[in-house]
Amino acid sequence: MAVEIERKFLVRENWKPKGAGVRIAQGYLSREPMRTVRVRVKGKKGYLTVKGKNEGIRRAEFEYEVPLADAEAMLALCAPPIIEKRRYIERIEGFRWEIDVFAGENEGLCVAEIELSDENVDFPLPPWAGEEVSGDARYYNSQLARVPYRTWSQSQPRYPQSHGFAFERKAQDVEKR
């Protein structure tokens, strides 16, 4: 069985993208807590992913490449909003970090993820890594599709209150479908 072990961190304003990143649009055919079924268009490729329930930072994950036209057609079947973001990759001391700058309904949010081979792996935190939100369901992409970041009230803690110019400017780089 394929297993995903992932840690997630908010990104501080001092982070600057390296390169153009890749555009991602994704939606959910199922957002049930026990399983999610995600459709993703990443650049010029399509993917269908089935994920199991989170158990800490671990969960089952099965991802399959599908024809781009099929992925685009399946996105149309997903409940709105579609998650829009631009992903940047940084390698730090042998670890691969994925930094997602969200657009659309989640504009203003920037999250970094690191996938690990084991839950107990030690890894260096980059200086731009902020608060860990691995266990905070609000930051799961499937939850952001239900309750987008832009709709969070002032009573719901947000970090930081405003991501500032760097993130707003970069979010505009995400092409509209």
28 carries an active-site annotation: yes
Q: Give 113-120 contacts, CB < 8 A, sequence gap 24+.
A: 113/6, 113/7, 113/8, 113/9, 114/6, 114/7, 114/9, 115/4, 115/5, 115/6, 116/5, 116/6, 116/7, 116/57, 117/5, 118/5, 119/5, 119/56, 119/57, 119/58
Residue tagged active-site, from 28, 88, 140, 149: 28
6 closest CA partner among 85, 91, 97, 110: 97
Positions marked catalytic: 28
